[in-house]
Structure formats: C-alpha cells, structure tokens
C-alpha cells in the first residue's frame, strides 16, 4: 500500500507545496517562515508518524492568517489524496494528551463530511519569541485542514494556562488521533468502513 501524496496551492497570497507519507517514521523537512508554526508541523509529523515535506511562502507583510490557513488546506488535501477510497482503515481515532498543566482532547472521523468543533480557550494574545505568532490563526489552520480533508474533528482544551502548551498539546492530540484513524484494520482489510460503502 502506497499511501503518499503531494500537492501545491499557489495564489496571490501564498505558495505552498506539501508531500506526506502516512506510513512514515515521523520525519519532517520544513521550509516554513513562521517559527512556531514550523514547530507545530514538526510536532504533528512526529506524533502522527507521518513523513512530511513542506515548502511555503506567504504575504507575511499583511499578517500570518493567509499562510497558516492555506497550509491547513494543502495538508488536508494531501491527507485525502493519500487515503484514497479509505479501504481497510480504522476511520476514527481519539486521544487525550497531557502537556504539563494542559490537557487536550482530539477526536477525529475520516467520514468525508468535514466539520470542526474547536474549543481551545486561547487568549488571542500573540506568542512572542524570535518572532510573534498570531494564536488566532490556529483555528483557521484546523478549519482549512478539516474542510479540505473531509474530516470531522473535535479539538478541545479541557484545562490549561499557557497558550503555547494548549496549541502544542492540541497538535499532538490531533496527530495521535489521526494516526489511529488512518491505521489499517487487519479485521477489515478490504472493506470501506461505512454502511454506505463509500466515504466521500
């Protein structure tokens, strides 16, 4: 089974190219101009055991919204392409992920029907490091990912203080949940996991 895909999106605002291998080792090769988001993509690859290549440019002189949201869209498209008709997968997954004072919960269904519930209780205050990160773009990323990937996802912070920890714990929880969802199910190797006979 070759569950790999690559796609690109070029607009007047962004130029993004992503390749993914769902059956990888968690290796990430990232050329991404937003440091914190690059860290989240690396975290996503590592905890999902997805091999990920990302090259991205965007109109950061405007703000980070376009690039972060479009990254989610392209990553979601790659997921959908790599899964194909989704034959023989477990289809759904969930994870509770603790990170210090924060507890994140992610539940996903590769149903073909996109829906996002995002309850992260973020402050909206940018994270300041070598460069600032607009925390309000995190929901935009996941909205783009779920919409393009045909994924229903519930992403919640059950408790926490640090926005950094909340965002990172959600990326880890989501990656683990997606890792479970794409996992081949040996009991239904030739079956599409739906009474409809199709997941689109």
Residue-by-residue pLDDT tens, the chain, 200 positions:
689 999 999 999 999 999 999 999 999 999 999 999 999 999 999 999 999 999 999 999 999 999 999 999 999 999 999 999 888 889 999 999 999 999 999 999 999 999 999 999 999 999 987 678 999 999 999 999 999 999 999 999 999 999 999 999 999 999 999 999 999 988 887 776 655 666 56
Which phi and psi angles does 39 have, rounded to 5°? -60, -40
Edge-to-edge strand list for the sheet holding 14-21: 4-10, 14-21, 51-58, 28-31
Query: Do 155 and 173 touch, CB atoms closer than 8 A?
Result: yes
List Cα–Cα distances, 52 to 13, 22, 39, 185, in angstroms.
22, 9, 13, 23
Alpha-carbon span 137 to 152, nearest angstrom: 19
Instruction: Supply the pLDDT for residue 23.
Output: 97
Nearest to 14 by CA among 67, 71, 68: 67
Domains of the chain with CATH codes:
4-188 (3.30.230.40)
Sequence-ordered strand ranges (E) for the chain: 4-10, 14-21, 28-31, 51-58, 92-99, 102-109, 115-119, 127-128, 132-133, 152-159
Query: Do 145 and 76 touch, CB atoms closer than 8 A?
Result: yes
Which phi and psi angles does 178 have, rounded to 5°? -65, -35
Alpha-carbon span 38 to 22, nearest angstrom: 19
Q: At what angle do helices 35-48 and 65-83 cross, to 10 degrees?
A: 20
Instruction: Supply the pLDDT for residue 199.
Output: 59
Instruction: Supply the pLDDT for residue 188.
Output: 81
């Amino acid at each position: 089974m070759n569950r790999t895909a690559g796609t690109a999106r070029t607009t007047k605002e962004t130029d993004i190219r992503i390749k993914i291998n769902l059956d990888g080792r968690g290796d990430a090769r990232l050329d991404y101009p937003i440091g914190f988001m690059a860290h989240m993509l690396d975290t996503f690859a590592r905890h999902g055991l997805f091999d990920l290549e990302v090259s991205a440019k965007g109109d950061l002189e405007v703000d980070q919204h376009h690039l972060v949201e479009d990254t989610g869209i392209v990553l979601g498209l790659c997921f959908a392409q790599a899964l194909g008709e989704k034959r023989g997968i477990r289809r759904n997954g969930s994870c509770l992920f603790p990170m210090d004072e924060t507890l994140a919960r992610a539940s996903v269904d590769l149903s073909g029907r996109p829906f996002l519930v995002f309850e992260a209780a973020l402050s909206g205050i940018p994270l300041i490091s070598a460069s600032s990160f607009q925390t309000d773009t995190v929901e935009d990323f996941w909205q783009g990912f779920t919409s393009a990937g045909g994924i229903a996802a519930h992403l919640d912070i059950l408790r926490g203080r640090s926005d950094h920890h909340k965002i990172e714990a959600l990326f880890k929880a989501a990656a683990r949940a997606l890792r479970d969802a794409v996992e081949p199910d040996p009991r239904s190797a030739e079956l599409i996991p739906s009474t409809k006979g199709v997941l689109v």
